[in-house]
Amino acid sequence: MSILQNVKDLVRSRSIHVSYVDVGSCNGCDIEVLACLAPRYDIEQYGIYVHNNPREADVLLVVGAFTPGWEEKLKGLWNKIPEPKAAIAIGNCPISGCVFDRRGSYVDPPVAKHIPIAAEVPGCPPRPTEILQAILSIRDSVFAEWEVKRK
């Protein structure tokens, strides 16, 4: 293995990469997740990077109320993330369906029925600090397995 690859692995094993999926929200939670990236909360100071490519991710943030149309897409996304990995449900929607879970609606909560959820951040919407805390709370368990499972 090249020195460059070794350096990359070392750096990568100390920073957590986050991917994001919205399965049908009002965008309230999206805005709070975006706030985590802005200078006020500056998620990168904690070694957390947002990655659009799930193959480079460690953690999947799920926002919004799950509907059956997302079944295959969400599982496909989850399967692309290499081990070790974790998913976090952000906001009340992926936990309970929130305001969208009404009689006759297509909403099918919780999202934990479809992919394993390691942490939940309740709220409508939750605060950026709560989202950050949830990511940091699972960081150690992901890091602990990283060097073994990604090599």
The contact set with ligand SF4 (CB under 6 A) reads 25-26, 28-29, 64, 91-93, 98-99, 124-125
CB of 31 to ligand SF4, least distance (A): 8
CB of 123 to ligand SF4, least distance (A): 7
Amino acid at the residue 95: I
Amino acid at the residue 123: G
Q: Identify how many contiguous H helices and E strands the chain contains and give both numbers.
A: 5, 5
Give the angle subtended at the CA of 12 by the CAs of 136 and 14, to the nearest 5°. Answer: 40
Q: Which residue is nearest to ligand SF4 (CB)?
A: 28
Q: Which is nearer to ligand SF4, 124 or 144 (CB)?
A: 124
Burial of 11 (0-12, 13-18, 19+ CB in 10 A): exposed
Q: Which is nearer to ligand SF4, 11 or 124 (CB)?
A: 124
CB of 92 to ligand SF4, least distance (A): 4
